[in-house]
Structure 1
Amino acid sequence: MSESVSVRCPVCRREHLYAAPSYPCECGAPVCPPLDRYGTPTAVTHQVWEEAWVAVECAVCGRKAEWPQPELGCTCGTVLRIPVAGDARPDAEPGAEPDVAAPAPPRPAFQPITIRTARDAVTVAALYLRWLGYEDIRRADQRPPSGIGLAARGVLAHVDPTVRPASARDVECLWLTAMTESAHCVYFSLAGYSTEARARADTLGIPLFVLDLTGTPQPVN
């Protein structure tokens, strides 16, 4: 878990205490974007895809990957982009011995449950999100037009247990709802996705998963 920093909204001047969410590295270790406590947050007037990601290095295995830029939704309605410091691990000084990476902590395999009902599908999605590192999974505040909405800190998930493939409109609705809550989003579908839905999800950067009947989410994109 990253250290909390004090963030002042430049619009309404409210003070917030913010801690960046952690994401699971491929090695299983949690990765937190290092926040710049001396930086100034900026108000996001419109989202630009290239500016929504930041490169962060895993402190355990040294793998560098792109993770969502930390953002905070102020109660006045302003979305604040939180500045990020440099790499999680500083560069070695000239002539210094290279660091030896610590062994990667083992992460237990995901334990699926057989999907027989719509409730089972929702349970599997919640368990999978928890397995990825998200905590306090709950029903989303805003009910989606169809299916079930799940939420955790920094993420909004849509679970579609129907026999109809998800459409591009379904994907767009999830993305718009997540934008209003300054959260990232993910879609779980039991029946898969239309070609248009997959293309739209790729454009918006939304991870898609198909829930097979064994209870194991399979990535689509």
Structure 2
Amino acid sequence: MTESVPVRCPACRREQSFTPPTYPCSCGAPLTLPVLRDGIPQEFGHRTWEDAWVVATCAMCGLRGHWPQPEFGCACGALVRVPVAPAPAPADRATDRPADRPPAAPRPAFRPVTIRTARDAVTAAAQYLTWLGFREVRRPEGQAASVDLCGPGLVARVDPTTRPTSLRDVECLWLTGLNESAAGVFFSLAGYARDARARADALHIPLFIMDLTGTPQPVNDPADSLTRVGPAER
């Protein structure tokens, strides 16, 4: 089991436990990213494709490759990037070749939709869910729909307001998903209340936060998992 490390949020200064992510190397061995215990976490507001990767070396086969940069969403609403120990220099050009480029990504880079209205926020969430791998994402029919987006095995809410999403909103989505035998996913522009975040973690509901560029960012472990492996493999 991967050992957790203490990480202090640079925004609110609260210390919390962070479990470094583990990925399967092409040789079949698990590769746990070497998070720096004494490193300085950095808050960020927008992720770019170039800085979303770190170089790490598999201890089993020695392969150097690019892997997703470790990040987490703090309860205060900050998105925090966790530093990783630099990969050792390659012994020769043959071993360096895999580090020259990331491994083939399972999906292309997401193209965000600029958010100017509440409808734009729903559109951005729909495109992101499709990018993740959900099929036939659409707006439900009827004015009294309890969700903003749906699809086979999916229900999603999009909160475009300026107030943090409430506990009741999260629980209503969970109940809707339970009734529909579907996975619930939540998107919010203003973040989540502390009790809403805790309940979502307990119910394994992925939470995403969106800025006005229209790029969702995961703020809890279920959202990280969904972003990393997609809906079919969760």
TM-score relative to the length of structure 2: 0.48
Q: CA RMSD in A?
A: 2.4
Hey, what does 2:115 align to over in structure 1?
A: 115
| Aligned residue type for 2:211 | D
**Unaligned runs of at least 5 residues, structure 1:** 1-57, 65-102
Cα–Cα, structure 1 residues 61 and 161, in superposed 2: closer, same or farther, change >3 Å? farther
Native 8 Å contact 1:163 1:191 kept in 2: yes
Hey, what does 1:129 align to over in structure 2?
A: 129
Using the TM superposition, give the Cα deviation of residue 114 of structure 1 relative to its aligned residue in structure 2, in angstroms. Answer: 1.2
Native 8 Å contact 2:115 2:214 kept in 1: yes
**Per-residue CA distance 1:177-209 (angstroms, 9 max, x = gap):** 100000111000111100010001001000000
Structure 2: distance between partners of 1:61 and 1:143: 47
Are 2:159 and 1:157 equivalent residues in the alignment? no
Structure 2: distance between partners of 1:201 and 1:63: 31
| Aligned residue type for 2:111 | Q
The within-5 A match list for 1:174-189 is 174-189=173-188
Return the structure number with greater helix share.
Answer: 2
The within-5 A match list for 1:81-120 is 104=104, 106-120=106-120
Structure 2: distance between partners of 1:217 and 1:139: 18
Count, aligned residues:
123
Structure 2: distance between partners of 1:153 and 1:170: 21
The within-5 A match list for 1:59-78 is none
**Unaligned runs of at least 5 residues, structure 2:** 1-23, 31-102, 221-234
Structure 1: distance between partners of 2:203 and 2:180: 16
| Aligned residue type for 2:113 | I
| Aligned residue type for 2:116 | R
Using the TM superposition, give the Cα deviation of residue 113 of structure 1 relative to its aligned residue in structure 2, in angstroms. Answer: 1.6
Cα–Cα, structure 1 residues 61 and 139, in superposed 2: closer, same or farther, change >3 Å? farther
Using the TM superposition, give the Cα deviation of residue 139 of structure 1 relative to its aligned residue in structure 2, in angstroms. Answer: 1.7
